Amino acid sequence: MIDHANAVAEQLERFTSGYAHHVVGQHANLEFWLGQARQALDTLDGYRERFDRMASAQNSWVEAHETMVGNFCSLCGGACELGPKMQKPRPPARYRSSNLAQAARRLKDAAYYFLLRCYRMNLLDEEELRARCKHLGTSVDLADLKAR
């Protein structure tokens, strides 16, 4: 999920500094790229709720079925003979909120600068730039508009 957001951000970052004819080509696919960005942002935004449902379901299953697992051995790839034979499985671990926020920030910044590049090349007008940014959950810096 974080990797996907970073991959989309990386692509958008390339468009920001690419040749003008490449930017025009990617502008032709603007709906696709902004759709990818919006989907990745929605995935990041919904993570906590999905994680809580998944963790609750797993914990309920473990309790209801008295699930026990052996220790995994990183050397042999099987049950570890040196540790306890069977124990309750560990609860799932969450991604850090800061990691999710960092990926979302990078993606929003990359999309913003791609849109700004399109605006500066007269591929978007100010109204469309603002609307696209709003849809991604970011705003437009007035100083960026003056640098056209």
Query: What's the per-residue H, E or C state across the chain?
Result: CHHHHHHHHHHHHHHHHCCHHHHHHHHCCHHHHHHHHHHHHHHHHCHHHHHHHHHHHHHHHHHHHCCCECCECCCCCCECCCCCCCECCCCCCCCCHHHHHHHHHHHHHHHHHHHHHHHHCCCCCHHHHHHHHHHHCCCCCHHHHHCC
Say how far residue 42 (Cα) sits from the centre of its chain: 8
- Predicted local distance difference test score (pLDDT) of residue 147: 67
- Predicted local distance difference test score (pLDDT) of residue 84: 63
If you average pLDDT over residues 118-123, what whole number do you get? Answer: 96
Q: pTM for the whole thing? A: 0.83
In whole angstroms, what is the distance from residue 69 CA to residue 78 CA? 11
| Confidence band of 81 (pLDDT split at 50, 70, 90) | low
Residues whose CB is less than 8 angstroms from the CB of residue 116 and which lie 6 or more positions away in sequence, other chains included:
16, 129, 144
| Confidence band of 115 (pLDDT split at 50, 70, 90) | very high
Mean pLDDT across the chain: 92
- On the question of pLDDT at 96 being above 90, the answer is yes
* Residue showing tokens 């990797």: 3
If you average pLDDT over residues 12-29, what whole number do you get? Answer: 95
If you average pLDDT over residues 24-39, what whole number do you get? Answer: 97
- Predicted local distance difference test score (pLDDT) of residue 104: 98
If you average pLDDT over residues 59-82, what whole number do you get? Answer: 79
Least confidently predicted of 4-13, 57-66, 127-136: 57-66
CA dihedral 132, 133, 135, 139 (to 10 degrees): -150
